[in-house]
Amino acid sequence: MKPNNVIALAAFLTALQQLDNSLPENIQRQLNEIGKSLTKDPDDIDDLDIIAEIYAPLEPLYQKELANLYSGVGERSKGLEPDPLPTNPTNELTNTAINTFNSPDSVSAAKKNVNPNLLKRIRNFIIGKQTNG
């Protein structure tokens, strides 16, 4: 999975967890379609930005999470090329996203499925901090 997609997916899942209400039916259907696409291609998340944009309660949460994650990328050591993101956490992130997006209520699924430890590990990998779990 491309690093920018890891960031976008982590931000979207984190924002989804913060919503108080379920998504409208048309938005949920679009997210279900992305969930199906992710099973074929883990980098097929282009429409997440569009979903966040058209669903007003989600947009500021998503943008805030993106900003937080991208600011962490700036903390990386300047000079050397960053190591690629490890595969296991990104696979776990992709599988969590697929399960969450394919649910009939992705907000509830995100609250249940998205492990805070996974998001913490992804954040640490994004900014270059290696941890033991």
pLDDT in tens, 33-73: 999 999 899 888 888 999 999 999 999 999 999 998 888 66
Q: Specify the 3-state DSSP secondary structure of 7.
A: helix
pLDDT in tens, 73-94: 655 545 555 555 444 557 888 9
Binning pLDDT at 50, 70 and 90, where does residue 122 land?
Answer: confident
* Cα 13 from Cα 17, distance rounded (Å): 6
Q: Give the H/E segment covering residue 121.
A: helix 116-127
Contact 16, 110 (CB under 8 A): yes
DSSP 8-state symbol, 9: H
For the chain, the average pLDDT equals 84
The pTM assigned to this predicted structure is 0.84
Distance from CA of residue 115 to its chain's centroid? 12
Query: Which sequence spans correspond to the domains of the chain?
Result: 3-127
Binning pLDDT at 50, 70 and 90, where does residue 115 land?
Answer: confident
pLDDT value at position 82?
53
Amino acid 4 reads N
The lowest-confidence range among 23-27, 86-90, 105-109 is 86-90
Q: Which residues neighbour 30 within 8 Å (Cβ) at sequence distance 6 or greater?
A: 47, 50, 51
Token pair recorded at residue 46? 């282009």
- CA torsion angle 92 4 43 9 (round to 10): 50
